Amino acid sequence: MKTMKKLFVLLFAVLMISGVQAQQKSDLPNVTIKNLQGKDVNIAKLSNNGKPFVMTFWATWCGPCIKEHNALDEVYSDWQDETGVKIYSVSIDDSRSTAKVKPFVEGKGWDFEVLLDVNKDLARAMNVSNPPYTFLFDGKGKMVYQHSGYFEGAENDLYEEILKLKK
Amino acid sequence: MRRVILPLLILGTLSLHAQSFIDNAQVNGSFQTDAQYYRLDQGIDITDLNGKKLGVNGFGKIGYSYGDFSAGLRFEAFLPELNGFRNELNGVGIANFFATYDNGFIGVTVGDIYDQFGSGLVFRTYEEWSLGMDNALRGVRTIIRPAPGVTLKGVYGRQRYYWAPYNERDFSSDDYRGIVRGVDADWDLNQSLSSMSESDLKMSLGGSFVSKKQYDQSTFYNIPLNVSAAAGRINLGYGRFGFSTEYAYKINDPSFINNFIYKEGQSLLSSLSYSQKGLGVVLQLKRTDNMSFKSMYTGKQNDLDINFIPPINYTHTHSLPSMYTYSTQPNGEMAAQFQVNYTIPKGTALGGKYGTKLALNFSQVNDIVRDSILFCGEMVLGQSGTKGYTSPFFAVSDHRFFRDINLEVDKKISKDWHVTAQYINLYYDIATIEGHVGAPVVKANIGFLDVTYKIDKRQSLRFEVQGLWENEVHDGYVYEESDKKDYQKRGHWAAGLLEYTITPHWSFSIADKWNYGNPVPEFRDHYFTGTVSYLHDATRVMLSAGRQSEGVVCVGGVCRTVPASSGVSLTVSTSF
């Protein structure tokens, strides 16, 4: 326990010194996960060329999540044309179904940018305890809207929030 | 001297940067409370509450981040724990805290660590609130990324065991546990080598080594002081094809779970997939042999697991299909899983205006083959204190644990109507999986129809009908009076649900599950529940009243059994 305390103090000191470079305020946590191609993606660096983006948490075993994704899939190309919004779809499937995610997504014909959060590092950092869970970020990475759960037609409310950012 | 310098340094930097440290920091958090009020219910045989009228599970967590630094803590309260959760959870306290500094090149975390090496065959710590499961490693983790695509990790610490203190050698209680340390390397060739950065071939390699140091408490067995395990993995992708495999090996590790045999353990997990837009196919194979790996050799159930052996079968979400869920048998299994997802395109005869989504799945798990070994001039099989058995690597036993063949159709019929239907053929060895020794295998046909109708832009109705029909155990089945308990949820079931939703906030539902074909007449009960949910941004409130049937709740392949109960339950969760 004593060594633990020492480490804490040391770490604190290190971060104080390193904290000199003030960072721009963003609500994206410093967590690295992989995309479907196996490439590392640092969430803190996510962006959509200054346009808003959606981050939605789901799993292959979550019924309402699949409903939400199907609903988003139907409107996605219209939304993109009208607002340039991008959807990041974060799968929290663990190793029991990680290998199934890509064939599942392709089989459903979804076009979202899919990320794999295999040990829920991102979900934990963003306080997502149960999927589905949806966040909307503005072009600077600031979170402007979040929603727990999915009810039929809830994508319309999300779209209204996206349209607000356009103004 | 150092004693003076460090605080001074901290103070100095603190005053300099305190302002930006507060102004530019992120603070976030979440809360959840699950409470249930229990009542007596003669109808489903609840005649004694054992003094527990109310169960409450709650947590609150708060996180802080500033640039490369983040920290957090989680407070938990089980006052007392809900029925079906482990009694050891009863208590209140700060269950988890951590601080991390990560600048992309190096990352250090002290405190409670969640991490996974590869697919977790030798190391995975995680937390699953709905199961009361948390095997966090309290200690230190270092991550170094020396070059693009290369990640090196090291962990060192001791795992959480409910509220037990983290004392090193507290032999007085039986919840003392060993130290866990591990290293992992991951190398993504496409990010690492410029010659491969544009290649169609995607390739990554990885390897891990984990060891536990435990103290021998046993007066009867000679428990090894150090037990180590290692794993290697490869992931390949080429165009539409993907292949990944991981192999793990563990040296002899006598434990309560493996009946104190001194045999090495092995595990192999492989998958092959093909995907293109509208079609996805995946085949997974798994072999597990004596791979329970815990930081306490006396651990039971899911206690203090260091590794995670994923069950690879399909996870059902509707109430009747998910009543019989397979859970990993760490002592031995040969498993196969095959799934096809296909979307019949829009505009074709079968696809209609919106397309039709099909999913076909096949999963089966059998035991491994075990051959007896010679011990002191006698042939023995699985005997404690011996090497246990030998097992040919690719042999499959005739003893089948589980099989699930299912087909799902998901179809949007018109602007307002949406239908999902599924048929499942199930084989479930309840004696092995749930420990109902001697109970006959569950062989059942299961089906459901789930229909959603949009009344208008804001309102919708959804109804579900489900049926489960057992082939062998039903009306007129002869059972031993003493085994009655094993038949609590057996036989035929019918279930129905009606849900009315007003987007974005309200949902009202009523549901009934009826065990009409139970072989024991007194178990032919209705389980009626009514639920109201309210969603608002990050807040979720759910109130339900009625009966809950005895069953198994599983998340991510880890399960807990829930006893039958009756009463009112409330869940409130929010985050900021």
Q: Residue A106 is nearest to which of B61, B276, B533, comparing CB atoms?
A: B276
The set of residues, in sequence order, having a beta carbon less than 8 Å from that of B97 and lying 6+ positions away, is B71, B72, B73, B74, B111, B112
Statement: residue A22 has pLDDT above 50 = no
Statement: residue A2 has pLDDT above 70 = no
Statement: residue A34 has pLDDT above 70 = yes
Q: Which residues 517-546 of B have a C-beta within 8 angstroms of A?
A: 533, 535, 537-540
Q: Looking at the complex, does the CB of residue B361 fall below 8 Å from at least one CB of chain A?
A: no
Binary contact (A148, B535; C-beta < 8 A): yes
Binary contact (A154, B108; C-beta < 8 A): no
Q: Which residues 300-359 of B have a C-beta within 8 angstroms of A?
A: 308, 310-312, 315-318, 339-343, 354-355, 357, 359
- Predicted confidence at residue B484, as pLDDT, reads 83
Question: CA–CA separation, B100 vs B188, rounded Å?
Answer: 24
CB pairs under 8 A between A and B: 237
B11-25 tens-digit pLDDT: 555 555 555 666 678
Question: CA–CA separation, A10 vs A17, rounded Å?
Answer: 11
Using an 8 Å CB-CB cutoff, list chain B residues near A38: 188, 190, 202, 204, 235, 237
Q: Exposure of B14 by Cβ count < 10 A (0-12 exposed, 13-18 middle, 19+ buried)? A: middle
B189-232 tens-digit pLDDT: 999 999 988 899 999 999 999 999 988 877 788 989 999 999 99
Question: CA–CA separation, B223 vs B299, rounded Å?
Answer: 14
Statement: residue B563 has pLDDT above 80 = no
Using an 8 Å CB-CB cutoff, list chain A residues near B274: 103
B402 neighbors B431 (Cβ within 8 angstroms): no
Binary contact (B457, A156; C-beta < 8 A): yes
Which residue is closest to B148 within chain A, CA to CA?
A40
DSSP H or E stretch at residue A155: helix A154-166
Average pLDDT over residues B244-258: 96
Question: CA–CA separation, A87 vs A93, rounded Å?
Answer: 18
Query: How far off is chain A from B275, nearest CA to CA, in Å?
Result: 5
A154 neighbors B504 (Cβ within 8 angstroms): yes
Query: How far off is chain B from A137, nearest CA to CA, in Å?
Result: 14
Statement: residue A82 has pLDDT above 70 = yes
The yes/no answer to whether this complex scores an ipTM above 0.85 is: yes
Query: How far off is chain A from B29, nearest CA to CA, in Å?
Result: 6
CA distances from B340 to A114, B315, B420, B423 (A): 19, 15, 17, 15
Q: Looking at the complex, does the CB of residue B193 fall below 8 Å from at least one CB of chain A?
A: no
Average pLDDT over residues A58-77: 92
SS3 B322: helix
Percentage of chain A exceeding pLDDT 70? 84
- Predicted confidence at residue B480, as pLDDT, reads 82
Tokens at residue A99, please?
């290998």
Q: Residue B66 is nearest to which of A19, A37, A40, comparing CB atoms?
A: A19
A105-157 tens-digit pLDDT: 999 999 999 999 999 999 999 998 888 999 999 999 999 999 988 988 899 99
- Predicted confidence at residue B300, as pLDDT, reads 86
- Predicted confidence at residue A38, as pLDDT, reads 86
Please state the φ and ψ torsions of residue B174, each to the nearest 5 degrees: -95, 15
Pick from A73, A155, A165: nearest CA to A114: A73
Confidence of residue B270 (pLDDT cuts 50, 70, 90): very high
A16 neighbors B14 (Cβ within 8 angstroms): yes
Question: CA–CA separation, B335 vs B136, rounded Å?
Answer: 28
Question: CA–CA separation, A146 vs B576, rounded Å?
Answer: 9
Q: Which residues 29-58 of B have a C-beta within 8 angstroms of A?
A: 29-30, 32
Return mean pLDDT, chain B. Answer: 90
Query: How far off is chain A from B277, nearest CA to CA, in Å?
Result: 5
Statement: residue A19 has pLDDT above 60 = no
Asked which of B162-171, B296-305, B406-415 is least confident by mean pLDDT, the reply is B162-171
Which residue is closest to B143 within chain A, CA to CA?
A32
Statement: residue A20 has pLDDT above 50 = no
Return mean pLDDT, chain A. Answer: 86
Which residue is closest to A44 within chain B, CA to CA?
B67
- Predicted confidence at residue B13, as pLDDT, reads 54
- Predicted confidence at residue B49, as pLDDT, reads 83
Binary contact (A103, B504; C-beta < 8 A): no
Confidence of residue A18 (pLDDT cuts 50, 70, 90): very low
Statement: residue B436 has pLDDT above 50 = yes
Q: Residue B282 is nearest to which of A4, A103, A130, comparing CB atoms?
A: A103
Binary contact (B575, A146; C-beta < 8 A): yes
Which residue is closest to B278 within chain A, CA to CA?
A107
Q: What is the CA radius of gyration of chain A?
A: 18
B34-60 tens-digit pLDDT: 999 999 988 888 888 888 899 999 999
Q: Going from the N-terminus, what domains does chain A have, and what CATH number goes with each?
A: 25-166 (3.40.30.10)
Confidence of residue B479 (pLDDT cuts 50, 70, 90): confident
Using an 8 Å CB-CB cutoff, list chain B residues near A123: none
Q: Which residues 267-296 of B have a C-beta within 8 angstroms of A?
A: 269, 271, 273-282, 284
Binary contact (B312, A97; C-beta < 8 A): yes
B66 neighbors B89 (Cβ within 8 angstroms): no
Confidence of residue B174 (pLDDT cuts 50, 70, 90): low
Statement: residue B377 has pLDDT above 80 = yes
Q: Residue B501 is nearest to which of A8, A128, A151, comparing CB atoms?
A: A151
Average pLDDT over residues B126-151: 94
- Predicted confidence at residue B50, as pLDDT, reads 81
Asked which of B358-372, B410-424, B426-440, B471-485 is least confident by mean pLDDT, the reply is B471-485
**Letter for the amino acid at B158?**
R
The set of residues, in sequence order, having a beta carbon less than 8 Å from that of B525 and lying 6+ positions away, is B43, B44, B514, B515, B518, B547, B549
Confidence of residue B170 (pLDDT cuts 50, 70, 90): low
- Predicted confidence at residue B46, as pLDDT, reads 84
Average pLDDT over residues B417-427: 97
The set of residues, in sequence order, having a beta carbon less than 8 Å from that of B447 and lying 6+ positions away, is B421, B422, B423, B424, B466, B467
B489-546 tens-digit pLDDT: 899 999 999 999 998 899 999 999 999 999 998 899 999 999 999 999 889 999 999 9
Cα dihedral value B250, B254, B255, B259, nearest 10: 120
Count CB-CB contacts under 10 A for residue B336: 17
Tokens at residue A37, please?
């191609």
